[in-house]
Amino acid sequence: MLPFSFLPTFYRARCLNLTTLTITRNLMKTHKGTAKRWRRTAQSFKRGIAGRNHGNAGWSRRSLKHLSGRKDADPSYLRHLKRLMPYK
């Protein structure tokens, strides 16, 4: 039988011989703060627009209306979002 010196230490403790060795891949975790703020679309991600929660006294309706709705993610930020939310 071959020595287990080529295996990492956490596999050496669990394996009795090479036939029982099964290496599982690690799953990526979803970043929960990102998952609450962003939604997946077909090609991109979308989020709400900031600035509408409080301190709006004196603002015109037209200004506040521009802050409603959703905004798409910038294309330069897509790679970062895909890493933060791999299963969405």
CATH code for the domain in which residue 25 is found: 4.10.410.60
Query: Containing domain of residue 12, as a range?
Result: 4-84
pTM of this structure: 0.65
CB distance 48 to 37 below 8 Å: yes
Chain mean pLDDT for the chain = 85
What's the Cα-to-Cα distance from 88 to each of 28, 29, 43, 61, rounded to whole Å? 12, 11, 12, 35
- pLDDT (0 to 100) of residue 2: 56
User: How many domains is the chain built from?
Assistant: 1
Among 42, 50, 43, CA closest to 70: 50
User: What is the residue type of 65?
Assistant: K
- Could you read off the pLDDT of 39-60 as tens digits, one per residue? 999 999 999 999 999 999 999 9
Among 47, 36, 45, 88, CA closest to 70: 47
Q: Mean pLDDT across the stretch 11-20?
A: 55
Q: Mean pLDDT across the stretch 50-79?
A: 95
